[in-house]
Amino acid sequence: MLFRLLTSLVFPHYCPSCGHEWFDGVGFICSECWKRLEAFKGYRRIKEHELKERTQIAFVYNEIARLLVLHMKFYGRIDIAEKLGSVLFQQFYPQLSQIKFEAVIPVPLHSVRVRERGFNQSAVMASRLADKLKAPLRDDLLHRTRNTRPQSRLSNQERENNVIGAFAARPPVNRIPGGTVLLVDDVLHTGSTVKGCVKVLEDIGIEDIRIMAAMG
Ligand SMILES: [Zn+2]
């Protein structure tokens, strides 16, 4: 009872999407809103075929998803990022269980944003996935060299330009994973951001990079 009271103070039991108190949801959203999260099927907006081939996305970025992201980013709801990490694992378990991952790597946020927000939601998801996959979390490999503008407000071409040169491998790069790695992002729109990360990871010698995002 005390534990429930304390957790409800930290993470109030109301749905970040509709605002109703929930008792029967999946742990971060009420069951009605959970039903309205749509499974992601189309990869049309991701431009490059090669990127599509290795990308898995759980949900369509609809209004429910947008509100979840808003609460993660701006209302400190780290619990949503944790739960999304678990949901990704459950949803893609058949495919994930076929692969031995040498590292789970989050798309990095700029250090200024991490300080403002308190956490990197992609890193929280990646950490949960790494735990479940029993693979090392390597949030030390990539970093953001520039505090780029939010991709969601930009056109496709602006998104491409916005992330050019925005990522780097954190020097010195030691213990570079040799096999397959999993790159994790919260929302994948056109793929420009993950493409920037993939390029840097390939440049340091990682060849097999799989991509996973909660929404797209
Ligand atoms: Zn709801």
User: Domain residue spans in the chain?
Assistant: 38-215
Distance 16 CA to ligand 1 centre (A): 7
Share of residues in the chain with pLDDT > 70 (%): 91
The CA distance from 176 to 194, in Å, is 19
Q: What is the CA(90)–ligand 1 centre distance, in A?
A: 21
Helix ranges (H only) for the chain are 2-10, 31-36, 49-53, 63-74, 78-91, 93-96, 111-117, 121-133, 156-163, 192-203
What does the alpha-carbon distance between residue 64 and residue 36 come to, in Å, rounded to a whole number?
7
**Which CATH architecture group holds 38-215?**
3-Layer(aba) Sandwich (3.40)
Q: What is the 23 CA–ligand 1 centroid distance (Å)?
A: 11
Strand partners, 143: 168
Ligand 1 midpoint to CA 6 (Å): 22
| 36-51: average pLDDT | 82
Contact in structure between 114 and 120 (CB atoms under 8 Å): yes
What is the C-alpha to C-alpha distance for residues 86 and 104, in angstroms, rounded to an integer? 14
Tell me the CA–centroid distance for residue 125 and ligand 1, in Å: 21
Q: Is the pLDDT of residue 25 over 70?
A: no
The residues, ordered by sequence, that sit 6+ positions from 97 with a Cβ below 8 Å of its Cβ are: none
pTM above 0.75, yes or no: yes
Joined tokens for residue 3: 């534990």
The encoded tokens of residue 95 equal 């495919």
**Residue 29 Cα to ligand 1 middle (Å):** 6
pLDDT category at 59 given cuts 50, 70, 90 is: very high
Kindly report the average pLDDT of the chain as a whole number: 87
Q: Which of 20-24, 106-110, 157-161, 202-206 has the lowest mean pLDDT?
A: 20-24
pLDDT value at residue 12: 55
Q: What is the pLDDT of residues 77-89, one digit of tens each?
A: 999 999 999 999 9
Does residue 41 carry a pLDDT above 90? no
Q: What is the pLDDT of residue 1?
A: 46
The CA 170 to ligand 1 mean position distance, Å, reads 40
Give the pLDDT confidence score for residue 24 in this predicted structure.
Answer: 63
User: Which of 34-48, 60-74, 148-162 is the most confident on average?
Assistant: 60-74
